A and B are shown apart, each in its own frame.
Chain A
């Protein structure tokens, strides 16, 4: 099936899926923390757009609510919260070191291929658009993990964590037209509380070890030092 055979809705979803995967790669390569947060906000907005399009085409009113919630939470509130934290803690000039950026990007590309491979049996008898959606959302989840592994700054870990949530949400919207309303509200609530708790942690960490570099947190160990 070639891309021109798809209807406009499917093409739009494919485009957004591609853009969301692209923002994940942008985050992977971005070492300045405040830009990282900005890319994350962009991903949130793209996600909200995908949800809104799905809502419009399929005429599911509850998807509009989740689109609005996503835009509000992932596009505005959480990025602003992180942005304020970064400035309050004086981290806006900090460059996070990325060891072997080229290898990280290649690893990311490999993860995308792996996601497609894993998703193949799932969508063997489904439409092309679902294959891409599930594969891309799995890739965004895995790329978020890779982001967390390669970074040292606690803020970058939080962005990675939230981007994993983005990937999951995208999977829910495109493959199943959103979860039931009560579940989505619950997830949104959890994400919001998690963001606040992360904020509390930034202050606790910087108060106790004077930096947000998680490499400094290595006191708990099986081996006595």
Chain B
């Protein structure tokens, strides 16, 4: 009971405190402490839900079940490890004169603001509040993308704001339609937007309105997932903003937008009784997966490279949720976890690599493993993991997606295999020379804090070898909730 309020309260307090003290020496530590407290509260909540089952809080406004509680825990964990990395990183950026104290204050306050918006998206029971906090997440991050005030970063931020703003407005239209459908069945009142109420009455909602609503919701939240053809903002925002931002955007925001789509899909499936929503998600997901895998080959900027890899993986997850069988859903949930952990670790390493080389252009980044072995190894292992090599967790989850697809849509498996192969080649053609190439003259090691990276990668390795019991139990419960069956 208290845990869920703490999760929302801690980032709120953190935001206010850091808005005042964000430029002080201690700001990084305060940021880490807030995230650590939030993680503790998230773990407490997770244990509570594990023991007592789904619960409603605060007069039905908050709803926690096994699906969102594990995402809350994942969000808190990635938020914490990224904040550990962000302290020294932002200090370094300030020392080399890229940032002023005022902007640092904005950065720290908005870091917590973003975490608050993420927790609210995940915990709220009200579809309208979910939309409001999703928009809030855009507003919190948009000024951070332009934090360096270079023409490129301002352009990226503007693109991010306009595209995501217009995109997410479609989701609001979808929400209005949802409310319209619910009101005809349930009558006027505040309860008609509550997800639990909608889910209980889904079979009575008008299918024509709900299918139209889902199209708008998918386009709206899909913009935030980065689904092709609405993905243009994503590589720009990731490459021009500060690196810790890229890590939490890729690791958290994309997941939470996908979470919103899956929640909507559960409602629409209950009303339509057909597979329309799933087919739409499969189509968009597969398209994103293939287009992003191809575009990996064309990149010159290291952060753009990995943002396309994010689009590729998000496409795969959307596809798997669209397939909708228990195995596919299990695989998608698992892939959400492994991708979040791996990708945020990679962005942290990439941030260090870019600081080391003084540029984000891949042709200028050379010989990382000779200048600073831990960064080189971090990048190499991270790339191996994200490309889906065994024994890492991403391999296991991608393999599960393949198996599930082979069962239900065998003719789509070749496309998936081609995409995975293309993405692998796209990543490694750049990686080889960056890690093993000849280091330029005068490249010196920097102060880097890499233990979050290796912690993430070790976890991904562990997940690849065996899923711990409690996590498997969570995944099973969430799968049961979403797909209505257990993976056998």
Which residues of A line the B interface, CB within 8 A?
A: 118, 121-122, 124, 134, 137-138, 141, 145, 148, 154, 157, 161, 164-165, 168, 171-172, 175-177, 179-183, 186-187, 189-190, 193-194, 197-198, 200-201, 204-205, 207-209, 214, 217-220, 222-224
Partner of B190, one of A165, A180, A190, A218: A180
The answer to whether B169 and A168 touch across the interface, beta carbons within 8 angstroms, is yes
Complex Cα distance, B177 from A179, in Å, reads 11
* A165 to chain B: closest residue by CB: B169
User: Does B129 reach chain A (CB closer than 8 Å)?
Assistant: yes
Set of chain B residues within 8 Å of A176, measured between Cβ atoms: 176, 179-180, 183
29 contacts between A and B (CB under 8 A): A122-B177, A122-B180, A145-B166, A157-B162, A161-B165, A165-B169, A171-B176, A172-B179, A176-B179, A179-B128, A179-B179, A180-B126, A180-B192, A180-B193, A183-B126, A183-B131, A186-B132, A187-B128, A197-B161, A200-B143, A201-B146, A204-B154, A205-B154, A205-B158, A208-B151, A217-B159, A219-B151, A220-B239, A220-B240
The answer to whether B156 and A194 touch across the interface, beta carbons within 8 angstroms, is no
The answer to whether A220 and B152 touch across the interface, beta carbons within 8 angstroms, is yes
Complex Cα distance, B158 from A198, in Å, reads 9
The answer to whether A182 and B169 touch across the interface, beta carbons within 8 angstroms, is no
Set of chain B residues within 8 Å of A168, measured between Cβ atoms: 169, 172-173, 176
Report the minimal beta-carbon distance from B441 to chain A, rounded to whole angstroms: 25
The answer to whether B209 and A220 touch across the interface, beta carbons within 8 angstroms, is no
User: Does B149 reach chain A (CB closer than 8 Å)?
Assistant: yes
Which residues of B line the A interface, CB within 8 A?
A: 61, 126, 128-129, 131-133, 135-136, 139, 142-143, 146, 149-152, 154-159, 161-162, 165-166, 169-170, 172-173, 175-177, 179-180, 183, 188, 190, 192-193, 208-209, 212, 236, 239-240, 295, 298-300
Set of chain A residues within 8 Å of B136, measured between Cβ atoms: 190, 193
The answer to whether A122 and B143 touch across the interface, beta carbons within 8 angstroms, is no
Set of chain B residues within 8 Å of A164, measured between Cβ atoms: 166, 169
* A173 to chain B: closest residue by CB: B176
Set of chain B residues within 8 Å of A197, measured between Cβ atoms: 139, 142-143, 161
- On whether A183 and B139 interact (CB within 8 A), knowing A205-B154, A208-B150, the answer reads no
Report the minimal beta-carbon distance from B227 to chain A, rounded to whole angstroms: 18
Complex Cα distance, B155 from A217, in Å, reads 6
Set of chain A residues within 8 Å of B159, measured between Cβ atoms: 217, 220
* A167 to chain B: closest residue by CB: B173
Report the minimal beta-carbon distance from A198 to chain B, rounded to whole angstroms: 8
- On whether A148 and B139 interact (CB within 8 A), knowing A122-B208, A180-B126, the answer reads no
Main secondary structure of the interface of A (DSSP, over half): helix
Most chain B beta-carbon contacts within 10 A, residue among A121, A175, A186, A207: A186
Complex Cα distance, B383 from A53, in Å, reads 60
Report the minimal beta-carbon distance from B265 to chain A, rounded to whole angstroms: 19
The answer to whether A208 and B179 touch across the interface, beta carbons within 8 angstroms, is no
Complex Cα distance, B129 from A181, in Å, reads 10
- Extra contacts besides A161-B169, A194-B139 (15): CB < 8 Å: A122-B212, A141-B170, A145-B166, A179-B193, A186-B128, A187-B132, A197-B142, A201-B146, A204-B154, A204-B157, A214-B158, A217-B159, A220-B236, A222-B295, A223-B298
Set of chain B residues within 8 Å of A219, measured between Cβ atoms: 151-152, 155
9 closest A-B pairs by CB = A183-B128, A186-B132, A217-B155, A208-B151, A180-B190, A121-B208, A190-B135, A208-B154, A172-B176
Report the minimal beta-carbon distance from B309 to chain A, rounded to whole angstroms: 15
Most chain B beta-carbon contacts within 10 A, residue among A154, A197, A209: A197
Complex Cα distance, B179 from A175, in Å, reads 9
Partner of B166, one of A122, A161, A204, A205: A161
Complex Cα distance, B304 from A219, in Å, reads 14
Set of chain B residues within 8 Å of A218, measured between Cβ atoms: 155
Partner of B157, one of A124, A201, A223: A201
- On whether A220 and B142 interact (CB within 8 A), knowing A148-B166, A161-B165, A177-B188, the answer reads no
Complex Cα distance, B141 from A193, in Å, reads 13
Complex Cα distance, B155 from A222, in Å, reads 14
Partner of A182, one of B129, B175, B188: B129
* B170 to chain A: closest residue by CB: A141
Report the minimal beta-carbon distance from B145 to chain A, rounded to whole angstroms: 11
Set of chain B residues within 8 Å of A122, measured between Cβ atoms: 177, 180, 208-209, 212
Report the minimal beta-carbon distance from B339 to chain A, rounded to whole angstroms: 23
Complex Cα distance, B295 from A219, in Å, reads 18
The answer to whether A183 and B193 touch across the interface, beta carbons within 8 angstroms, is yes
Set of chain A residues within 8 Å of B158, measured between Cβ atoms: 154, 201, 205, 214, 217
The answer to whether B155 and A220 touch across the interface, beta carbons within 8 angstroms, is yes
Report the minimal beta-carbon distance from A69 to chain B, rounded to whole angstroms: 14
Set of chain B residues within 8 Å of A137, measured between Cβ atoms: 173
Complex Cα distance, B165 from A148, in Å, reads 12
* A154 to chain B: closest residue by CB: B158
The answer to whether A171 and B173 touch across the interface, beta carbons within 8 angstroms, is yes
Most chain B beta-carbon contacts within 10 A, residue among A137, A154, A172, A218: A172
Set of chain B residues within 8 Å of A209, measured between Cβ atoms: 151, 154
